[in-house]
Amino acid sequence: MKNGLALFLGAFVTLALSWGGLLLTAQRQIGGLSQFKDAADEQLYPQPLSGLADQGRLVYQDLGCVTCHTQQVRHEGFGADIARKWGERGSYARDYIRDQSVLIGQNRLGPDLRNVGARLGDAKPAEYAEWFYRVLYAPQSVAKGTNMPAHPFLFDVHPVAGRQPSAHALALPSKFAPGPGLEVVPTSRAVALVAYLQSLKDTYDYPTERSRNTPAPKKGGH
């Protein structure tokens, strides 16, 4: 009996110390991080999400997008993410300090989305909002052969007859259009989700993080 109790207490203490060590290490590495102020534009980065984008983040979670998409650009030497133009730099812990829950993801069945808002048309947000809507409604209309599932439940199909066509109706190829006299219009959930996707852009840089991750020059010259 005494041996069993001692074994239990030993295992409990070992697990407690292990978890405590993990938490304290994470707190030491990340807990002291704060926003970075860019001297060029006097802005703090990373910036908080807008209200609409923040709602879209909840839609992103609800749809389980983290199952197929990551939000972490790997640094050079750890993958081809930068070569694929998924980001101008690798991701840092500081990039996530404003996230209540970090959506790094589980698998990469689709492309990484950490900078999708920057690489898909930061200069033309309205044009690329249409691109996002088409990807959500009919992925095959944008990328033939993609394994991404369609999300038609994020859209309403309205008859056009007898009323003014919606300014937000999708311009779909005939193969993917619902039929003559009908239009496809994004719901409020789709609008919020696209606002969130367009907000994903780590186009700023942290001089302190960059210098910390720059390999030191080798001594000896060989």
Please state the domain extents for the chain.
36-205
DSSP state for residue 36 in the 8-state scheme: E
Q: What is the pLDDT of residues 6-28, one digit of tens each?
A: 676 667 777 776 665 554 554 45
Where residue 15 falls (left for φ over 0; alpha for ψ -120 to 50; beta otherwise) is alpha
The segments of the chain whose pLDDT lies below 70 read 1-6, 8-10, 17-32, 38-41, 121-125, 207-222
Phi/psi for 126 (5° steps) reads -65, -40
Amino acid at 186: P
β-pairing verdict for 182-186 and 36-37: unpaired
Contact call for residues 202 and 117 (beta carbons, < 8 A):
no
Q: Which DSSP letter does residue 10 get?
A: H
What CATH class is the domain 36-205? mainly alpha
* Angstrom distance (rounded) from CA 210 to CA 206: 6
The residue assigned the tokens 């919606």 is 166
The confidence score (pLDDT) of residue 163 equals: 76
CA of 47: how far to CAs of 38, 90, 94, 104, in Å?
A: 11, 18, 11, 18
Q: What is the per-residue pLDDT across 157-186, written as a single tens digit (0 to 9) for each?
A: 999 877 788 888 999 999 999 988 899 999
> Would you state the pLDDT for residue 48?
84
1 to each of 5, 6, 7, how far by Cα in Å?
Answer: 6, 9, 10
